[in-house]
Amino acid sequence: MSDQAYQLIAILAYFVVMICIGLWANSKTKDLDDYMLGGRNLKPGVAALSAGASDMSGWLLMGLPGAVYVSGLVGAWMAIGLTVGAWVNWKIVAPRLRAYTEVSHNSITIPSFLDNRLKGNNRILRVVSGLIILAFFTFYVSSGMVAGGVFFQSSFGTSYLTGMLLVAGVTVLYTFFGGFLGASYTDLFQGLLMLAALIMVPVVGVFLVGGPGEMITRVQNVNPDALSLVAGGTVIGVISAVAWGLGYFGQPHIIVRFMAMRTPADAKPGRRIGIAWMLLTVLGAVGTALVGLAYYGNRPGEEPTDPEAIFLDMSQVLFHPLIAGLVLAAVLAAIMSTISSQLIVSSSALVEDLYNLAVKRTPDPKTQVWLGRGGVLLVAVVAAGLAWQQNSTILDLVSFAWAGFGAAFGPVVLMSLFWRKLTNAGAISAMAVGAIVVFTWQYTPWSDLYEIVPGFVLGGLVGIVVSLLTHRGNPEIEREFDETLRLVHHPEQADPAGTL
CB atoms within 10 A of CB 17: 16
What's the pLDDT at 392? Answer: 55
Give the Cα separation of 43 and 50 in Å (integer): 11
**The three-state (H, E, C) secondary structure of 263-312, written as one string:** CHHHHHHHHHHHHHHHHHHHHHHHHHHHHHHHHHHCCCCCCCCCHHHHHH
Give the Cα separation of 463 and 460 in Å (integer): 5
Model confidence over 428-458: pLDDT tens digits? 999 999 999 998 998 999 999 999 999 999 9
Residue 493 has pLDDT above 50, yes or no: no
What's the pLDDT at 423? Answer: 95
Model confidence over 331-362: pLDDT tens digits? 888 888 888 988 988 888 888 777 777 776 77
**Average predicted confidence (pLDDT) for the chain:** 88
Whether residue 31 contacts residue 368, with contact meaning beta carbons closer than 8 Å, is answered with yes
Whether residue 480 contacts residue 100, with contact meaning beta carbons closer than 8 Å, is answered with yes
- The predicted model gives 388-396 an average pLDDT of 64
Q: Work out the percent of the chain whose per-residue pLDDT is above 90.
A: 51
What's the pLDDT at 26? Answer: 87
Position 407, amino acid: A
Burial class (CB in 10 A: 0-12, 13-18, 19+), 47: buried
CB atoms within 10 A of CB 275: 18
| Residues in contact with 341: Cβ distance below 8 Å, sequence separation at least 6, in sequence order | 50, 54, 183, 187, 253, 254
What's the pLDDT at 250? Answer: 93
Burial class (CB in 10 A: 0-12, 13-18, 19+), 381: exposed
Residue 191 has pLDDT above 80, yes or no: yes
> Residue 498 — pLDDT band, cuts 50, 70, 90?
very low
- Structural domains in the chain, CATH included, are 3-393 (1.20.1730.10)
Residue 288 has pLDDT above 70, yes or no: yes
What's the pLDDT at 16? Answer: 92
> Residue 365 — pLDDT band, cuts 50, 70, 90?
confident
CB atoms within 10 A of CB 104: 23
- 263, 269, 274, 276 alpha-carbon torsion, rounded to 10°: 180
- The predicted model gives 473-496 an average pLDDT of 81
